Amino acid sequence: MRVEQVTGWIMVPLWRSQPWMGMLLHMLIDHPRLLRKSETILTHPCSAGGHPLMGHTQLMAFLLSRSPFESEAYRQRAQIFSWHLGNQVQQNSTGHILEDGQTFVVEGTSIPLLPLCQTS
């Protein structure tokens, strides 16, 4: 995606500490979606069972663009909806996930992780 400068969806595990997470968060152009937790959502084509990691993690869907203009426009739109009463937005992306695990922070903007069935 970075080289071709395209827009598209990518599915990734909800792994907070991965080094690629910050890069993906900066490429977002819509709220990320959280897929319902299911041990059979990801299977190996040669086996009938689910992937062993699916018992411990969830998958997220990210709509990404390499265009910095699209990403910035999304963060400006998201900021309007990002304020949660009683919560203070973190100031940097180093600790980019709040304790509830359902919100990211990118450049001071709170990005909610929505259930897949919810639209923005």
84 has a pLDDT exceeding 60: no
Q: How confident is the model at residue 91 (pLDDT cuts 50, 70, 90)?
A: low
3-state secondary structure of 118: coil
100 has a pLDDT exceeding 80: no
Q: Is 100 inside any structural domain?
A: yes
Better pLDDT: 119 or 15:
15
User: Which residues constitute the domain of residue 48?
Assistant: 7-114
Q: Is 54 inside any structural domain?
A: yes
37 has a pLDDT exceeding 80: no
d(CA 75, CA 29): 8
The answer to pTM > 0.75 is no
Which pLDDT score is estimated for 99?
43
Q: What is the mean pLDDT of residues 73-101?
A: 59
Q: Is 2 inside any structural domain?
A: no
Q: 106, 62 in Cβ contact below 8 A?
A: no
Q: Is 120 inside any structural domain?
A: no
Q: Is 1 inside any structural domain?
A: no
Number of domains in the chain: 1
Q: Is 63 inside any structural domain?
A: yes
75 has a pLDDT exceeding 70: yes
Longest dimension (CA), the chain: 49
113 has a pLDDT exceeding 90: no
Q: Is 71 inside any structural domain?
A: yes
